[in-house]
Structure 1
Amino acid sequence: MRRLFLLALLCMASVTYAQKGSISGIVKDSSINKNIALATISVFKAKDTSIVTYRLSDEDGRFKVPGLPLNEALRCVITYSGYEAFRKEFTLTENLQDITFENIFMISTSMELDEVVITAERPPVTIKNDTIEFNANSFKTLPNALVEDLLKKLPGVFVDKEGNISVNGKPVNRIMVDGKNFFGSDPKMASRNLPANIIDKVQVTDDKEELERNADNNLANVGKVVNITLKKGIKKGIFGKLYAGGGSDDRFEGGGIVNMFRDTLQISLLGYANNLNKTGFTYGELMQAGGLSRSMGNLNSTSTSTSMSSSGGSNITVNGVNFGGMHRGGGISTSKGAGININHSPNNKQSIFGQYFFGNIKVDQWRKSNTKQFNEDTIVTQDNITNANIISNAHNIGLGTKLKPDSVTTIIANATYTLGLQDEIRHTGINSYHNILGELSNGSIDQNNVNNIYNYSHYFTVTRLPKRKAGGRFTFTHGLDASNTRSDFTTNSLTNILYPLLLDSTLQQLRLERIPRTNIYGALVFRLPLNKNFALTASSRYDYNKLNNKVNTFDADADKKYNQLNPLLSNTFNREFHRSNNYLGLQYIYKKLTITPSLTALWQQYDNRLLSLDNSIKKSQFNLLPGLGIVFKELNLNYNKDVSLPAYTNLIPALNNTNPYYLTNGNPNLKPAERDNFRINYYHNNSKKNLNISLYATGSLTKNDVIQSIVVDKSGIQTSTPVNADGSKNATVNYNINKQYKYNSKFTLSWNAGGWYGLYKNKLLYNGETSWQNNFNLEHWAGVNFNFNDKVEWNNDISLSNYQSKFTSSNFSTLKTNQKSVSTEVILRMPKHIIWEAVLQYENNGNVPSGLPKDVTRLSMAVNFTMLKDEKGVLKLSVWDLLNQNNSIGLTTNRNIISATQTNVLGRYFMATFTYNIRQIGANKKKVGGSGIFGY
């Protein structure tokens, strides 16, 4: 590690401190003597026209090109769309290190830029109206590089570890190929599979389709579209990978993902199996060669969750399908799955897709938890040890289309059906203590929980642009979501209560819950420009929701059959809900300033029926809600007021005692919550300095907030009931700074820093005591990354987290927790055909109870050998957790409670995995090495 550190410093020093020269000047229009901004100043080697470096002129037409070599013949070529190219040869020496060209007059022409620039001297960057065009040949990459590797070298382009792409701070929504949605709406499908050596040009424009859906008509709020122009002859092929591996302790992994495309048809197949507590593929691979993002590009919204753990686990769930990996509660998982995705885009006006996926996961879980509840000078502690076996199966099928019948109309429609099945068997041992009175109770809980979800949804939208009113639009949207959840919870428990009286309590019951639910909505949105400075925006949406929640709890009889209905733990809840939201806003636009005052008429009506009540609870409510939006350049300010009904789960007055130590109840008398919401969003991008700064802040004031009223009896058993409370406040601030230095075509240094601050104030109701609680969350992170010619990479990250809860009542003590994390990753791609890598992680958890480790150090290493023709084969020899210190510790604070949990994790294991990369489109090998090598 020390040698690698010194090597990185030497590389940086040799690049930074070598003697260099510069040129400068001002670019002007020859006819009107006007300075030209964003002209491209390119410097080539005169002998072979290879690019040295380039810069863009600033708003005043001024430029300076530093870092030029001395004693070498160079050629300066200045270009701008609509003008003839300017050329001048020069040589810098020790005595003449800086040359000023003074005024450079450009001559306008009617020809296209490519017609007046020699092919060998095509500028690296060209600005054409609202389009940025990069010449791919000007940015040298390794012979085996992918589009993603090329994009990383382009100015203003940032690609994170997951492959997400942004240009000048704006996300890239999709990558097109030769002007067509060749890969649907998935940027990573192209960026991580197409080789860089087949690319001719990369063009970046604003996403006009997103602008059509954006009512504020502000380009600052839309993403980017990247269009890749391919070299001739690259129109069909197949790519993907097959892999298989085995290791110590019977560890295994295997799978394949293949994508075939021919002109306008793409077919993706995937399958996987492993017992490594991780998904069969990374999220990026599922989105890329798996085709998920390609098909989801036709959807209005999707349900996608991803999670990763430094202790050795990852999980991906897309539209209810679990693609394997760790369980949300921890444990060691065995996963398998398979799927097919078909996408057909005959032209840029039509796209249809179909998909089916199946996922299975089996979890072996051991979990230990320690919970401390503080009140005055007393502490109630509960220790739990849980063993569980969980089996989950999920199926998903989807169909959809995207049509553009003409230049002003877009139609999107899709339908999906998801089936999720889960069976869980768990045993929990519980002990409860009082710091003064001693042991309060002990016992055990055996549960068998079966939870099945059936869901159908469809979505349809039409967007129409007026032909004569620029900036206007009309959108109609309809959606349906119908689901049925069927849960069977069997509980057998024994509780030995030791205080205040000796009492043995047994529980044998079956709780059946059935929740059919239907949501239907329709919405109209339009924007009508009135004149140059004013535009009218309006929308109307109607929602209808019908829900039935039937809870029947049965006690066991003498024969241990569950046929005795317990009316105290049973109820039926029916809800019909109508909501009409009508919005009207008037936009005032002056240059880069937009001010939009608005008014929303919100009507809500619900009818709640409870089996336990003689009459239904009906309420109709009408509110006029003000709003204000201000946009100035990259600064967005927003205020709005909303009224939301309580979640139906908080309304059902049926006691849930499936965990006899934590009882929950509902409250049918909860009132709607009223919130005043504030939001600030600011983004600054300096493309010349490769500097991005973003700031996002929110705040809200809530009336009739829903909080939990907690009662803990003398034996330590807790009962919580939702109630309304006024005065809740919260505020959050998130900021990020990214800076990149591209010293030359070989060396890149980048750093980032950020933070997240949260302040939450609400009431605490505990055993009749009322107190205000103020929760402070502070998180900071930073990273430094070095890349030398893709041969040496060194990535470093650090994060610090602090959490604190303060109370106005002296009966509750201040609670504090803190966490630290440091990681460093080194990748060496040398000598040829060998890639070395190592990841070292250190974590520290403060305030962890005695008996649990506070510090965890993990060291994972791998060596990769590339082989076969075009290096399509990769043999990876890896070791996870070489020091065998892996552990999973979680620490949280909630109200007056500190909870620490420990779960079973994968310990040290060795693996040998062979991967065969399928490439038949002229591509070379995919870049090997990086944190993704371990899948975590």
Structure 2
Amino acid sequence: MKKLLFIFTILFTSSIFSQSYQFKITGKILSEKEKTAIEAATVHIERVKDSSIVTYTITNSKGNFSLEGKSFDKNVKLFVSYVGTDSYSKLIQLDKTPVLNLGDIFLKEESNILSEVVVQSRAPITIKKDTLEFNVKSFKTKKDANVEDLLKKLPGVEVDEDGKITVNGKEVNKILVNGKPFFGNDPSITTKNLTKDIIEKVQITDTKSKSEAFTGEKGDANNKTINLTIKKENNKGWFGRVSGGVGTDKRFEGATMVNRFDNNQRFSVLASTNNINSPGFSFGEIQKMFGGGGNIWIGSNGSFGINGRRFGGGSGIVKSQTAGATYADEYGKGFDVNANYFYSGSSSNNESKNNREYTLPDRKYYSNSTTTSDDENHNHSFQTDFDIEIDSTLLVNINPSFIFNKREGSTNRNEETLNEDNNLTNSFNSSTYSKSEAKNFRNKLDITKKLGSSGSFIKASITNNIEKEDTEEANKSIIEVYGSSPSTENRDQKSTINNDLVGLTTRLTYRFPIISKKFFLDTKYSYQRDERENKEDTYDFDTTTQQHTAFNSSLSSDFSYNDIVKTPALELIYKTKKWRFNFETGFVNRTLENTDKLRPDLSLKKEFNNLDLDAGFRYQFDSKASINFDYNLRNDAPGIKQIQPFSDVTNPSNIITGNPNLKPTQRHRAYVNFNKFNWQTRTGFWLYISASAYQNQVISNTIINNDLVRNTTYQNNDGGYDLWSGGSYTKKLKLDSITSIKFRLGGNLSATKNFNVLNNVKEGAKTTSFKPNAGITLEWDKYASIETRYDIDFSNTKYDINTNQNQDFINHSLRIRTKTNFPKQLEWRNDVRYTYNPNVIGFNKTSWFWNATLAYSVLKDQGTISLKAYDLLNQNTNAQRRATSNYVEDSESTVLQQYFMLGFSWKFNSLGKKGKIRNYDFHF
């Protein structure tokens, strides 16, 4: 009996504590003074006992709101807040009134505007004109979360596996700390290395230049800026982290970052090194691990970059080093200084294989190549920003920067060409070594003067750019041609190359209102002049002198190239609270002048006159949805190598000659973006479509003889186009007090039409790609999560003439990520990716890629011991296939192989009271 009574008591107690109360609360928010509806007021519900957020929403254009959900508390408190008004609060008893209509709620004009006491808003989200502001305390994360972890919790914000951040489908291209850059404009350094517990607000707005923000102009509606505001008590002191790791196969990594904040003054230093293909700055123990052949952008010369910062070195196995410092301060009222230095270096080795199948109008041929390379790159960059606000109407911005790059590398390439019967027709074997130094100085001066209070202003901008690059190259190669006219050419050459540029760009804008603060006319004028000097001296090896003294005129050049552009323009702008329209037209006068000092008969001068157009439309339906449309017409001049009538015989099996009769390419581009987010249901939807059509597009014209030697030039062509579109739908459901599930459906669609001319036959190739994806994320508060994503890529290439060569590709990718924090000192992450490429020939079609990390907190959560396993199944690959207008290519290159690494990280923090690291435990 006692046992039954005990069981009954336990069950009864559990039922009490598990009881939840469904509720639906509605109402309308009005201004007490004007008696008008208030749009974008924040309405949220808090638990009474700990002030944690239960749910929240935003009022619509009519001031109405509706809050639905459930709570395990009988009593909750409702808050209403809006910028410039006093907050409203009301205690609600859910067990008595689960369905409640509060009717009209009037907000009074803020009563403490002139008071020294400022009441901090409790709202989880606030909308201030064009700025969306999140209250960090309202979004719960793990204890030592960084900014990236925080951003993943914010509604409408997505962070992909590569760290790219989007807000309702629009990319975040700038992150600021207290309104100032942090290590330049590299978002990844900020998001991965600043901790959430020092942040008070996250503000999101359209990306603007400082001049645009000063005058109140529109920003870039297609890109977003995130500003992180630091808590006042956390704005003075030291914080940072030191970490290191050693692993199998001689793998290692190490990083340190030290920050000193003193109100308006900020100073930070960082340094890192590793040989695990991680060019970004991170501490490694829980961060994503690069690999799989698709996460790093690779340049044609083997360099790579993350977030616009060049590291050099490329695919293969990369050893990289970074070091940097940043400083920001205010010297008196209106004088801000921001300076940063960054060093990035890398060394890499790589082996790549490429197999191509070319299709000619009357036959096929094949090309197989193997390339091995060793590359070393060192890059130093220094950038400063001086913002001088003379008074409330005059702003001066000065932005000097200097970059020094030193690169050294060697490449061995073996290439063979076979005819349709797989008979060898020619081969090319080369060994090259190059060493170069490049310097770049750039300075931009902006002066902005506001005129009166009606929105009028005048702006002047001057940018000068000086580049100097010196290169030394050595080349040994053998070119063999077989068949009816066999030949062999041996080359042993050295070259010195000097490439200098002096550029100047000036812009002047005067805006005056037609209708005050609504309708404006901008008169603009821009002048741009780029003067480039290029000199290449190539010397063959002289068997008599046993030195490289025989000047090779066919492989040498000496020319100056001027590109001068003058553009007067007019722009009409009309804007209201809901929508904005602009239309701009400009007359572009462009002069291209090339003076060839070695071959004076090849000198030329071309002048072009064209119209540029810009039009845009933006409409804000309400606080939940908006649409943007942009159209522009551009005329792009051909490149110097395309227009210069000089034959490049560097590769005698592919001789390239420019065409001086080329016209500028005319590009029409249209872009539309729609996004909508329901704050109450946590449901978001965004869609974009971008399309471009080309006239006088520059395409290649190639003649291939019977020995498969190519002679290529260029010509203009009409009919090319490209279309890119994408969309995403997300919905987040809260299953109970600790469990939530998030659904995501998305996809991308692209279509391109390219042309080339082979043996006087123009071939068009249309490539269409459809990439749907679906994902589900299940979270148990801060204790565990499972994230799954499936992508499939349908790609189709159709040819206008050689229809029998049409290609269909299908690629599959499945990714599963798990995370557990139980017990709370232990974090375990897994990242598993499966890929299947059924169309790849000659390489692996399938692969499993599995990374895992264990991290255990020690020393009162200030230290972390980690064990990282990379490519547990040892199947990492980057085999891929692609199709162009005249060939299909299969390729594969060296990738990082399996390793295990043991690491340790220690963090310190003297910010805030007593220097403790605080943890806010708010429910969301």
- Give the TM bin, normalised by the shorter chain: 0.7 to 0.9
1:897 aligns with 887
1:453 aligns with 438
1:397 aligns with 382
Confirm whether residue 544 of structure 1 aligns to residue 529 of structure 2: yes
Letter in 1 for 2:493: Q
Confirm whether residue 616 of structure 1 aligns to residue 600 of structure 2: no
Confirm whether residue 914 of structure 1 aligns to residue 904 of structure 2: yes
Residues 221 and 210 of structure 1, relative CA distance in 2, 3 Å threshold: farther
1:8 aligns with none
Shift of 1:864: 0.9
2:254 and 2:283 in contact (8 A); partners too:
no
- Describe the SS at the equivalent of 1:266: strand
1:301 aligns with none
- Describe the SS at the equivalent of 2:515: coil
Letter in 2 for 1:829: N
Superposed, 1:13-52 pairs within 5 Å as 20-27=21-28, 29=30, 35-46=37-48, 50-52=52-54
Residues 20 and 628 of structure 1, relative CA distance in 2, 3 Å threshold: same
2:394 aligns with 409
Using the alignment, how far apart are the partners of 1:159 and 1:507 within structure 2?
A: 51
Shift of 1:252: 1.7
Residues 550-573 of structure 1 deviation map (CA, whole Å, 9 limit, x = unaligned): 233322222553222222333322
1:280 and 1:336 in contact (8 A); partners too:
no
Using the alignment, how far apart are the partners of 2:373 and 2:907 within structure 1?
A: 38
1:517 aligns with 501
1:321 and 1:357 in contact (8 A); partners too:
no
1:795 aligns with 787
Shift of 1:887: 1.8
1:859 aligns with 850
Using the alignment, how far apart are the partners of 1:19 and 1:529 within structure 2?
A: 58
Residues 712 and 513 of structure 1, relative CA distance in 2, 3 Å threshold: farther
Shift of 1:70: 6.1
Residues 110 and 704 of structure 1, relative CA distance in 2, 3 Å threshold: closer
Using the alignment, how far apart are the partners of 2:148 and 2:429 within structure 1?
A: 54
Residues 726-762 of structure 1 deviation map (CA, whole Å, 9 limit, x = unaligned): 3333333233444444567744433444333333334
- Describe the SS at the equivalent of 1:58: coil
Confirm whether residue 577 of structure 1 aligns to residue 563 of structure 2: yes
Using the alignment, how far apart are the partners of 1:393 and 1:219 within structure 2?
A: 33
Give 5+ residue unaligned stretches, structure 1: 1-13, 289-305, 928-936
1:21 and 1:70 in contact (8 A); partners too:
no
2:243 aligns with 243
Residues 38-67 of structure 1 deviation map (CA, whole Å, 9 limit, x = unaligned): 444443445565543333443344333322
1:310 aligns with 292
Shift of 1:373: 0.7
Letter in 2 for 1:276: I
Using the alignment, how far apart are the partners of 2:632 and 2:246 within structure 1?
A: 56
Structure 1 stretch displaced more, 202-211 or 420-429: 202-211
Using the alignment, how far apart are the partners of 1:483 and 1:907 within structure 2?
A: 39
Using the alignment, how far apart are the partners of 1:318 and 1:487 within structure 2?
A: 25
1:817 and 1:893 in contact (8 A); partners too:
no
Choose which of 822, 842, 845 in structure 1 pairs with 2:837.
845
Superposed, 1:561-576 pairs within 5 Å as 561-576=547-562
Residues 14-55 of structure 1 deviation map (CA, whole Å, 9 limit, x = unaligned): 9xx985411323235578765554444443445565543333
What percentage of aligned pairs have identical amino acids? 24
2:402 and 2:442 in contact (8 A); partners too:
yes
Residues 417-438 of structure 1 deviation map (CA, whole Å, 9 limit, x = unaligned): 2222222222222332223262
Using the alignment, how far apart are the partners of 1:528 and 1:717 within structure 2?
A: 61
1:74 aligns with 76
Superposed, 1:861-900 pairs within 5 Å as 861-869=852-860, 871-900=861-890
Shift of 1:320: 9.3
Letter in 2 for 1:508: D
Confirm whether residue 709 of structure 1 aligns to residue 691 of structure 2: no
Using the alignment, how far apart are the partners of 1:74 and 1:161 within structure 2?
A: 38
Residues 570-603 of structure 1 deviation map (CA, whole Å, 9 limit, x = unaligned): 3322222221111102234466344434331111
Using the alignment, how far apart are the partners of 2:289 and 2:454 within structure 1?
A: 45
Shift of 1:490: 2.4
1:483 aligns with 467
Using the alignment, how far apart are the partners of 1:723 and 1:195 within structure 2?
A: 55
Superposed, 1:157-172 pairs within 5 Å as 171=172
2:469 and 2:500 in contact (8 A); partners too:
yes
Using the alignment, how far apart are the partners of 2:832 and 2:100 within structure 1?
A: 49
1:268 aligns with 268
1:321 and 1:394 in contact (8 A); partners too:
no
Residues 104-149 of structure 1 deviation map (CA, whole Å, 9 limit, x = unaligned): 4436365249999999995545667777665555545544445655
Shift of 1:185: 7.4
Residues 857-881 of structure 1 deviation map (CA, whole Å, 9 limit, x = unaligned): 1111121111113x12111111111
- Describe the SS at the equivalent of 2:725: strand
- Describe the SS at the equivalent of 2:281: coil
2:301 aligns with none
**Number of positions where the alignment pairs a residue of Structure 1 with one of Structure 2:** 883
Superposed, 1:677-688 pairs within 5 Å as 677-688=669-680
Residues 487 and 188 of structure 1, relative CA distance in 2, 3 Å threshold: closer
2:56 aligns with 54
Using the alignment, how far apart are the partners of 1:222 and 1:909 within structure 2?
A: 38
Using the alignment, how far apart are the partners of 2:636 and 2:205 within structure 1?
A: 39
Letter in 2 for 1:228: T
Shift of 1:195: 5.0
Choose which of 340, 346, 365 in structure 2 pairs with 1:380.
365
Residues 492 and 148 of structure 1, relative CA distance in 2, 3 Å threshold: closer
2:715 aligns with 723
Confirm whether residue 630 of structure 1 aligns to residue 617 of structure 2: yes
Residues 787-845 of structure 1 deviation map (CA, whole Å, 9 limit, x = unaligned): 32222122223333343332222487223434332211111111131111111111222
Residues 313-369 of structure 1 deviation map (CA, whole Å, 9 limit, x = unaligned): 747648997447xx33x2212223433333323467222233433333221221221
Shift of 1:522: 0.5
Residues 55-99 of structure 1 deviation map (CA, whole Å, 9 limit, x = unaligned): 344334433332233672334444556666655544444xx6732
Using the alignment, how far apart are the partners of 1:169 and 1:901 within structure 2?
A: 32
Shift of 1:692: 3.6
Residues 110 and 819 of structure 1, relative CA distance in 2, 3 Å threshold: closer
2:416 aligns with 431
Using the alignment, how far apart are the partners of 2:415 and 2:206 within structure 1?
A: 58
Shift of 1:853: 0.9
Letter in 2 for 1:241: R
RMSD, aligned CA: 4.0
Using the alignment, how far apart are the partners of 1:284 and 1:410 within structure 2?
A: 42
Letter in 2 for 1:629: G
Letter in 1 for 2:829: E
Residues 822 and 688 of structure 1, relative CA distance in 2, 3 Å threshold: same
Confirm whether residue 474 of structure 1 aligns to residue 444 of structure 2: no
Give 5+ residue unaligned stretches, structure 2: 1-14, 298-303, 621-625, 920-924
Using the alignment, how far apart are the partners of 1:48 and 1:248 within structure 2?
A: 48
Structure 1 stretch displaced more, 644-653 or 166-175: 166-175
1:3 aligns with none
Using the alignment, how far apart are the partners of 1:771 and 1:480 within structure 2?
A: 43
